[in-house]
């Protein structure tokens, strides 16, 4: 299994290199050369797996044992999820007979991103320790270090900091939009006193922070000097780790009798940067039976508008502040990964036969148009293919608050449940 850039950089990387680099030199995102199929007996063999066992089974399909030996990978996984308060890691909570919540807030910072970032932090540390040990054996005493540079709309920053705080050979710098993250999230980031943790507040929006990060990664001289690493969901390991909880939800629902051969599961995912729901797309492509993945957006509805009209374009008023700030994003970075698969499928049905190179060229052109013009006119067949696996809806703040109120108020024997604004969307 190798990894390549969605924009066509010719180099194929190992899993380790893809994780360490984060963003490709051409600005593209790394994706695997193939999406593996699930083993033939996966439903019966994995049915009673713990989250950690499930994580090992899925991650092993993408990480060759030659890169991370099986026992070592198990150790990294177990260490990563030992910090969670619930033994299930991501328990499925019943609201009513038709609606369940997959609770992703049981990690150290109460953010869903803990699921991926606890794992990613331990991965970074493992790779660097191994590299430095090998260098020392060969007589090179200079230690390799990694400078993690990330942007946050709130929860990524604190989850990333808690994932790498006080880890060997790693420094982390997190940019957040000044006055646009919650006081609790700001405190979680700025009160960590470990020497390797640094926070910067930026006058602007999350997209401004993300643009700074992408510019730094795109500067080859700067990147080489400081050895930049990514913790945002542009990093492939984030997507990989998040696939696991889709399978966990599936098996929890199956064990509880919620789904069967006739009654299938559907995931509705609050969506900002598209990384969370993209992990569900990979699970679906691997062979997990689900209904269409439902994308729920707030007023920053670039994705909902795309699925309605086929137009991928920025909103006229920039980023809108909402009650669900982690989703206040103008452009969804991970959408580029899905666009590559849509372009590849379109190319597969064409007569050109140029395959991967043509899909990369198409994506590179789309991303260039988006940067220059703020919009991309998508071909009709791309929208039709996107609608095969996804649906999308926009939810207002008023609807979000009404949903929170409705579930907080017990009715018809249904107990009270406190839903955060992102879950409510």
Q: What is the pLDDT of residues 171-188, one digit of tens each?
A: 999 999 999 888 988 999
pLDDT at 351: 54
Confidence check: pLDDT of 154 > 80: no
Q: What values do phi and psi take at 197, rounded to 5?
A: -110, 130
Sequence-distant (6+) residues with CB within 8 A of 299 are 320, 322, 394, 396, 397
Query: Is the four-CA dihedral 86, 87, 88, 89 of positive or negative sign?
Result: positive
Inform me whether the pLDDT recorded for 354 exceeds 80: no
Contact indicator for 151, 180 with CB cutoff of 8 Å: no
Which H/E stretch holds residue 384? Answer: helix 380-389
Buried b (16+ CB within 10 A) or exposed e, 305-324: bbbeebebbbeeeebeebbb
Q: Identify whether the C-beta of residue 154 lies closer than 8 Å to the C-beta of residue 326.
A: yes
**What pLDDT was estimated at residue 101?**
97
Quote the pLDDT of residue 352. 57
Return the number of other C-beta atoms located less than 10 Å from residue 88's C-beta. 13
- Cβ proximity of 3 and 32 under 8 Å: yes
DSSP alpha helices (H): ranges in 191-334? 206-218, 220-226, 236-255, 275-286, 302-309
What are the phi and psi torsion angles at 400 (to 5°)? -60, -50
Determine the pLDDT at residue 318: 85
Candidate from 93-97, 231-235, 294-298, 390-394 with smallest mean pLDDT: 231-235
Q: If you average pLDDT over residues 297-312, what whole number do you get?
A: 95
Q: How many residues does the chain have?
A: 425
Strand partners, 375: 313
Distance from C-alpha of 123 to C-alpha of 125, rounded to nearest angstrom: 5
- Tell which residue, 43, 21, 39, 38, has the closest CA to residue 30: 21
**E strand or H helix at 330, and its extent?**
none
pLDDT band at 156 (very low <50, low <70, confident <90, very high): confident
Backbone dihedral angles phi then psi of residue 2, each to the nearest 5 degrees: -120, 170
Catalytic residue positions, numbered: 113
Q: Which helix (H) or strand (E) holds 197?
A: strand 197-202
Q: Please write the tens of the pLDDT for every residue from 61-102.
A: 999 999 999 999 999 999 999 999 999 999 999 998 899 999
Over 60: is that where the pLDDT of 280 sits?
Answer: yes
Does the pLDDT at position 413 exceed 80?
no
CA angle 239, 244, 250 (to 5 degrees): 130
Mean pLDDT (whole number) for 28-54: 97
Instruction: Confirm if 210 and 333 have CB atoms less than 8 A apart.
Output: yes
Is the pLDDT confidence value at 217 over 80? yes
Give the residue-averaged pLDDT of 8-34.
95
CB 15 within 8 A of CB 3: yes
Query: Is the predicted pLDDT of residue 164 greater than 90, yes or no?
Result: yes
CA–CA distance, 338 with 382 (Å, rounded to integer):
11
Directed axis angle between helix 114-137 and helix 155-164, to 10°? 40
CB proximity list for 326: less than 8 A, separation 6 or greater: 153, 154, 155, 156, 272, 422
> Which pLDDT score, from 0 to 100, does residue 409 have?
92
Taking 90 as the threshold, does the pLDDT of residue 355 lie above it? Answer: no
> How far does Cα 262 stand from its chain's mean position?
30
Percentage with pLDDT > 70 across the chain = 99
d(CA 157, CA 231): 9
Residues pairing with 297 in the sheet: 394
What letter does residue 163 receive in the DSSP assignment? Answer: H
Summarize the confidence of residues 400-404 as an average pLDDT: 96
> Is pLDDT above 90 for 139?
no
Which residue blocks in 258-334 are alpha helix, DSSP H?
Answer: 275-286, 302-309
- Long-range contacts (CB closer than 8 Å, 24 or more residues apart) made by 72-78: 72/126, 76/119, 76/122, 76/123, 76/126, 77/52, 77/119, 78/52
The mean of the pLDDT values for the chain is 93
CB atoms near residue 142 (< 10 Å) = 8
What is the pTM for the complete model shown?
0.94
Give the integer Cα–Cα distance in Å for 400 and 408. Answer: 12
Q: Tell me which DSSP letter residue 290 carries.
A: B
pLDDT value at residue 342: 96
pLDDT above 90: percentage of residues in the chain: 80
Confidence of residue 196 (pLDDT cuts 50, 70, 90): very high
Confidence of residue 110 (pLDDT cuts 50, 70, 90): very high
pLDDT exceeds cutoff 60 at 353: no
| Cα(190)–Cα(357) distance, integer angstroms | 44
- CA–CA distance, 326 with 113 (Å, rounded to integer): 11
The predicted pLDDT at position 326 comes to 86
């Amino acid at each position: 299994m190798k990894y390549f850039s969605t924009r066509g950089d010719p180099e194929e990387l190992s899993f380790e290199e893809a994780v360490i680099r984060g963003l490709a030199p051409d600005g593209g995102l790394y994706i695997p050369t193939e999406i593996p199929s699930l083993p033939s007996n996966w439903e019966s063999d994995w049915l009673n797996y713990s989250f950690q066992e499930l994580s090992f089974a899925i991650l092993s399909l993408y990480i060759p044992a030659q890169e991370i030996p099986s026992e070592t990978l198990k150790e990294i996984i177990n260490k990563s999820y030992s910090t969670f308060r619930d033994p299930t890691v991501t328990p499925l909570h019943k609201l009513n007979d038709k609606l369940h919540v997959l609770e992703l807030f049981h990690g150290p910072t109460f953010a869903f991103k803990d699921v991926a970032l606890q794992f990613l932090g331990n991965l970074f540390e493992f790779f660097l320790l191994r590299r430095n040990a090998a260098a020392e054996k060969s007589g090179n005493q200079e230690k390799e270090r990694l400078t993690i540079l990330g942007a946050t709309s709130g929860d990524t920053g604190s989850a990333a900091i808690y994932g790498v705080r006080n880890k060997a050979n790693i420094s982390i710098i997190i940019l957040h939009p000044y006055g646009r993250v919650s006081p609790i999230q700001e405190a979680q980031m700025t009160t960590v006193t470990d020497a390797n943790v640094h926070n910067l507040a930026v006058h602007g929006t999350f997209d401004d922070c993300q643009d700074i990060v992408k510019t730094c990664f795109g500067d080859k001289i700067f990147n080489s000097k400081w050895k930049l690493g990514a913790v945002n969901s542009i990093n492939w390991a984030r997507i990989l780790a998040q696939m696991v909880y889709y399978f966990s939800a599936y098996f929890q629902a199956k064990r509880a009798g919620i789904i069967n051969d006739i009654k299938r599961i559907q995931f509705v995912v609050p969506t900002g940067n598209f990384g969370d729901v993209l992990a569900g797309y990979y699970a679906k492509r691997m062979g997990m039976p689900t209904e269409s993945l439902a994308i729920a957006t707030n007023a920053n509805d670039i994705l909902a508008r795309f699925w309605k009209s086929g137009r991928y374009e920025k909103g006229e008023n920039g980023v809108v502040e909402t009650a669900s700030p982690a989703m206040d994003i103008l452009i969804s970075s991970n959408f580029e990964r899905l666009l590559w698969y849509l372009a590849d499928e379109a190319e597969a049905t064409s007569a050109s036969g140029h395959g991967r190179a043509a899909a990369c060229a198409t994506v590179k052109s789309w991303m260039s148009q988006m940067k220059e013009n703020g919009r991309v006119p998508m071909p009709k067949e791309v929208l039709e293919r996107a609608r095969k696996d996804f649906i999308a809806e926009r939810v207002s703040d008023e609807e979000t608050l009404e949903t929170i109120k409705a579930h907080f108020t017990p009715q018809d024997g249904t107990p009270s449940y406190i839903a955060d604004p992102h879950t409510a969307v």
